[in-house]
Structure 1
């Protein structure tokens, strides 16, 4: 079955998260996704708060920029969240937007090399290993988590280029594609991920998650067009966003699921009039129509 999630976009003030998370939990939303966009909101702090405010909701941070965060710290935070809220949190790792990484003094010459080293070390730490790494970017000397998770959470990775997507297939449990990815590009990404998974000799499947801008209610198409312009998306609005009532959106989503998406994370426009109503719509009206 296709999973459905919704994003709390960091263009909304942090103090709005509590109401949105509670609305999502009460409505039965499967997953609330958060971003660590520079320089808006911290992904981990927001995730911890959302988990504490809710009872059942799974909270996913997609993504944390690897250049900004030492892998030992990321492992500590992932393990803490998993122990405090078992099975309800996931953290994703990405290259980070290179311009932002430059602003923060964290840009690296080879993001692909960093990702390979980082995810390998993260897996080891979350798996309870004592990790020593002497890499180009990741260096650990006998690091072992004291408070290990009883069950290591999945490792999420995000990327867009061919080399990065193949690497994601090699090392990731879930691969995340950015908003504005049309169905044809989803199919191509799925093929590259499978190439990487096969080359690495992995037998377990890799889940593909896709962000997709969505709008419903009055003025939905105009909000989609504004989001299309704001995010600098290319191609027709209909190929990179969805909109309408629940039945119309459910029908449109089939293009992405047919292309290989396992999880669709609906991204409201930043000018969405009611984030609380948006997550309720996804959970109560759209979820029953998407199989």
Structure 2
């Protein structure tokens, strides 16, 4: 049976707000948490970008729920040896309840040190090597590695969990799904695509978890919810590889001018229709997802948590 978790958006909320949401999510009956990792928000209206590893440390002391990064990029902005140390410490703080979700990243976050932004095929190769390096470091042994993309000299993590954290690999197309099946302990993808899940399973993912996430906007006024989503998250509707290639919030704002309120209304679950929210989450269950993370857009979290606690999550349990 699928589990339902709450998605903490580091792009939209302050550290204090994220901690409050995590506590409220636990009270509302969500059984897991996920957190994004961004250096920049997608646009200036979202307005935040706290450092995910600091947030994970704080969350480990605020709630007892399992926590997954959705997702971090261990290849450009942070070296995989540094990411491995951060992940190992997170797993210790969370007493084994930490899962490392990784992906090939977006230029929006990874270009900030001036590095060249490679094509997907090279980024996938970098991610595979990074995962290999991190898995070796999670053992607590000394690691020296001279690869095509990364060098590690006499590195050893002295603070490691009893068991290494699972490494889930994110992907949005067949090639990425196949990579996840081959090197990952699970698959992360954001759309309820049964065919993509099948590609992951065929490539070595049989028996491994599939997790995804969806953003909604619970509001008694549906038109107000649509307007809010259109202002804060029009980037959710940008097609193709734009999300991986555009380098700044300003560029996303320019591209998002192509997204209309009608497109938001057709594509994002807005308003307080119980069946619409239940149907949106059930589509992931029917596509074979093991965990589904729900993020509320906008400041009215209390109404969202109350509705999901008393209405949406109970309906999904039947």
Structure 2 length-normalised TM: 0.77
1-side partners of 2:276 and 2:234: how far apart? 24
User: Which one is further off, 232-241 or 258-267?
Assistant: 232-241
2-side partners of 1:38 and 1:88: how far apart? 24
C-alpha displacement at 1:57, in angstroms? 1.8
1:173 and 2:174 correspond: no
Match of 1:91 in 2: 100
2-side partners of 1:174 and 1:147: how far apart? 24
> Structure 2 regions of 5+ residues with no counterpart?
41-48, 240-262
> Structure 1 regions of 5+ residues with no counterpart?
199-203
Match of 1:21 in 2: 22
Cα RMSD over matched residues? 2.6
2-side partners of 1:213 and 1:222: how far apart? 16
Match of 1:195 in 2: 202
C-alpha displacement at 1:222, in angstroms? 4.7
2-side partners of 1:9 and 1:42: how far apart? 12
Per-residue deviation, residues 45-84 of structure 1 (Å, max 9, x unmatched): 1111111122x22222211122211112222122212222
C-alpha displacement at 1:86, in angstroms? 0.8
Match of 1:57 in 2: 65
1:287 and 2:313 correspond: yes
1-side partners of 2:22 and 2:284: how far apart? 26
Contact 1:23 1:280 in 2 (8 A): no
2-side partners of 1:279 and 1:172: how far apart? 32
1-side partners of 2:4 and 2:78: how far apart? 28
Per-residue deviation, residues 114-140 of structure 1 (Å, max 9, x unmatched): 110011121222234443322221222
Q: Flag the structure with higher strand content.
A: 1
C-alpha displacement at 1:98, in angstroms? 2.1
CA shift in 2, pair 1:232/1:88, >3 Å:
closer
C-alpha displacement at 1:277, in angstroms? 4.3
Match of 1:201 in 2: none
Per-residue deviation, residues 164-218 of structure 1 (Å, max 9, x unmatched): 221111111222223xx3x3xx1122122123216xxxxx622111111222231
Contact 1:47 1:60 in 2 (8 A): no
